[in-house]
Amino acid sequence: MKIKTSELESVAVKPSQYPPSNLPEIAFAGRSNVGKSSLLNLLTGRKNLARVSGTPGKTRTINFYLCNNEFRIVDLPGYGYAKLSRKQSAEWGEMIENYLEKRENLLKVIQLVDIRHKPSAQDIQMYDYLKYYGLDGIVVATKSDKISNNERTKCIREIRKTLDMNSDDVVIPVSSLKRTGEKDVLEIIEKIIADR
Ligand SMILES: Nc1nc2c(ncn2[C@@H]2O[C@H](COP(=O)(O)OP(=O)(O)O)[C@@H](O)[C@H]2O)c(=O)[nH]1
Ligand SMILES: [Mg+2]
C-alpha cells in the first residue's frame, strides 16, 4: 500500500472533537521524542504533516490524519515527558483512556520504542494497556540507523522479552532517517484494514 493523500482532519482533546467513527483507525503511541512524528511523515510521504520537534512533549492532543480518504492514522500524545505537572499527566491519561476504551473503529495501536533501549516502565505500562484493550501486537523499533545489523537482532529480542510479546506479535525496525522499514509498516496497516 501507498498513502497517496493525507490531511489533518481533526485535533481533539475530548471525544466530542473526534471525527465521525465511519472509517477504520490505526493509532500510534510512544514516548515523547521516540520518533513518532518522523515516522508519520515517512509513511505519508510528507515532510511536514506531523511536526518533528526538538523540544519533546509538545503534542498534547489526539491528531486524526485522513489517509487515501479510506482510513485514519491517529497520533496519540507522547508520554514520559518529565516536565509535565500532575494535572497535565492526569489529563493525558484521561485523553488516552477515553480514546482506547471507547473508539469502536480503532483497529490497532502501533507502539513505538527506541531500538537502542530496553523498553521503559512507561513503555511496558502502555503496552500492557494495549493488551488489556486487545489492541497490542505491533511494535515499531525506531531509529534503527543508530545500531549495527549485529546489534539489531539482540535489541529486538530484548524488546520482545521486556514487553512480554507473543511469538506471532511483530517488531518492525524502522529508520526515518535512512527511510528503511516503512514498507513493512505500510504492509501491516494494509493487512489490518483488510482483515477487519
Ligand atoms: N537517527 C535518527 N533520528 C531520528 C529518527 N527518527 C526521529 N529522529 C530524531 O529524533 C527526534 C525526535 O523525533 P520526532 O519525530 O519529533 O519524535 P516524536 O516526539 O516521537 O514525535 C528528532 O530530533 C528526530 O530528528 C531516526 O529514524 N533516526
Ligand atoms: Mg511528535
Whether the Cβ atoms of residue 102 and residue 75 lie closer than 8 Å to each other: no
Cβ(142) to ligand 1 under 6 A?
yes
Phi-psi region of 80 (alpha: psi -120 to 50; beta: other; left: phi over 0): left
CA of 2 to the centre of ligand 2 (A): 22
Pick from 77, 83, 151: which is nearest to 114 by CA?
151
pLDDT tens, N- to C-terminus, the chain (196 residues): 999 999 999 999 999 999 999 999 999 999 999 999 999 999 999 988 887 765 555 558 999 999 999 999 999 999 887 777 888 888 888 999 999 999 999 999 999 999 999 999 999 999 999 999 999 999 999 999 999 999 999 999 999 999 999 999 999 999 999 999 999 999 999 999 999 9
Cβ(189) to ligand 1 under 6 A?
no
Residue nearest to atom 17 of ligand 1 (CA): 35
CATH code assigned at 165: 3.40.50.300
- For the CA of 33, the nearest atom of ligand 1: 19
Instruction: Answer yes or no: is 1 within a domain.
Output: no
Largest CA distance in the chain: 48
Instruction: Answer yes or no: is 170 within a domain.
Output: yes
Domain count, the chain: 1
Give the range of the structural domain holding residue 106, as residue numbers without chain letter.
6-194
CA of 114 to the centre of ligand 1 (A): 10
Instruction: Answer yes or no: is 108 within a domain.
Output: yes
Instruction: Answer yes or no: is 59 within a domain.
Output: yes
CA of 104 to the centre of ligand 1 (A): 30
End-to-end CA distance of the chain: 16
